[in-house]
């Protein structure tokens, strides 16, 4: 059997857990998108072209506030800047002779979960393995969005309210594991929550749109943490 086909099938198999997780989270996004006034197809197009839960949920608040396009662009740039770093890291696992169009297509599907699976794969990363991950993960995210957006029209309000809690459960699942045993990261999370509360409760600050709140808090807190607590390279990394 062709090596590329084997790599693609391996990607499909490893992408199934990602697909299932994406389906559950994007279902909630679809419900919230419908509540924000987006049509099911608008929500689906957003999910298919963005593939970023944090960016998409932030976008809903910006859309609901009828903020200008520039605010949306800057907020998305700040929120999704981490994908540039992930893409640079993955590019080091690709063969030097990998054509640009493979790199371009892989870049489309770089998400936190796909990056995690790809970077932990031993040896060189095959573009077809990435295609396998993308081929099963993206439909899970998009289909979940579609079903959530459509279901929002006929599900009882109590069920919709319960499903909306899934969003916060997802964010807790993202921040709690890496924060365990890391006092700096735990402190950054607590400071972020306190600052967000201050912005929401203070009379002057609560007039700032959601998009600019994200931009300001991200730059201030992340910038301060990077300056005060820089990540130190290990001896092996310094040697290289």
> How far apart, in whole angstroms, are the C-alpha atoms of residue 200 and residue 207?
8
The pLDDT score that the predictor gives to residue 214 is: 77
Q: Are residues 130 and 220 in the same domain?
A: no
The residue from 146, 171, 196 where one domain ends is 171
Average pLDDT over residues 40-69: 88
Query: Environment class of residue 147 by beta-carbon count within 10 Å: exposed (0-12), middle (13-18) or buried (19+)?
Result: middle
Q: Are residues 100 and 11 in the same domain?
A: yes
Q: Are residues 99 and 147 in the same domain?
A: yes
Q: Are residues 136 and 210 in the same domain?
A: no
Say which residues have a Cβ less than 8 Å from residue 235's Cβ, sequence separation at least 6: none
Q: Are residues 107 and 149 in the same domain?
A: yes
Q: Are residues 113 and 227 in the same domain?
A: no
Whether 176 is covered by a domain: the verdict is no
Q: Are residues 127 and 189 in the same domain?
A: no
Average pLDDT over residues 88-111: 89
190: tokens are 């607590």
Is it the case that residue 238 has pLDDT exceeding 50?
no
Give the pLDDT band of residue 181 (cuts 50, 70, 90). confident
Q: Are residues 32 and 148 in the same domain?
A: yes
Q: Are residues 152 and 213 in the same domain?
A: no
Whether 166 is covered by a domain: the verdict is yes
Whether 221 is covered by a domain: the verdict is yes
Is it the case that residue 101 has pLDDT exceeding 80?
yes
Whether 125 is covered by a domain: the verdict is yes
Whether 113 is covered by a domain: the verdict is yes
Q: Are residues 141 and 208 in the same domain?
A: no
Whether 41 is covered by a domain: the verdict is yes
Is it the case that residue 118 has pLDDT exceeding 60?
yes
How long is the chain? 240
Instruction: Write out the chain in H/E/C secondary structure.
Output: CCHHHHHHHHHHHHHHHHHHHHHHHHHHHHHHHHHCCCCHHHHHHHHHHHCCHHHHHHHHHHHHCCCCHHHHHHHHHHHCCHHHHHHHHHHCCCCCCCCHHHHHHHHHCCCHHHHHHHHCCCCCCCHHHHHHHHHHHHHHHHHHHHHHHHHCCCCCHHHHHHHHHHHHHHHHHHHHHHHCCCHHHHHHHHHHHHHHHHHHHCCCHHHCCHHHHHHHHHHHHHHHHHHHCCCCCCHHHHHC
Q: Are residues 11 and 51 in the same domain?
A: yes
Percent above pLDDT 70 for the chain: 89
Q: Are residues 166 and 189 in the same domain?
A: no
> In terms of residue numbers, what domain contains 72?
3-171
Q: How many domains does the chain have?
A: 2
Is it the case that residue 1 has pLDDT exceeding 60?
no
The pLDDT score that the predictor gives to residue 9 is: 93
């Amino acid at each position: 059997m062709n090596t590329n086909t084997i790599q693609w099938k391996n990607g499909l198999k490893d992408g199934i857990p990602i697909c299932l997780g994406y389906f559950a989270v994007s279902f909630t996004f679809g419900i919230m998108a419908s509540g924000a006034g987006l049509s099911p197809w608008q929500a689906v197009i957003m999910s298919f072209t963005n593939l970023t839960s944090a960016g998409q949920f932030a976008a809903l608040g910006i859309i609901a506030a009828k903020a200008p396009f520039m605010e949306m662009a800057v907020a998305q740039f700040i929120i999704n800047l981490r994908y540039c770093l992930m893409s640079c890291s993955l590019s080091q696992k690709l063969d030097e002779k990998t054509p640009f169009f493979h790199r371009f297509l892989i870049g489309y599907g770089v998400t936190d979960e796909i990056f995690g699976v790809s970077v932990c794969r031993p040896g060189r990363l095959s573009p077809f393995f990435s295609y396998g991950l993308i081929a099963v993960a993206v439909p899970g995210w998009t289909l979940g969005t579609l079903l959530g957006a459509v279901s929002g029209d006929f599900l009882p309000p109590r069920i919709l309210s319960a499903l909306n809690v899934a969003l916060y459960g997802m964010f807790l699942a993202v921040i709690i594991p890496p924060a365990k045993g890391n006092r700096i990261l735990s402190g950054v999370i607590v400071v972020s929550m306190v600052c967000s509360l201050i912005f929401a409760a203070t009379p002057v600050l609560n007039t700032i749109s959601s998009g600019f709140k994200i931009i300001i808090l991200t730059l201030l807190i992340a910038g301060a943490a990077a300056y005060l607590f820089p990540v130190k390279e290990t001896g092996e990394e310094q040697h290289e």
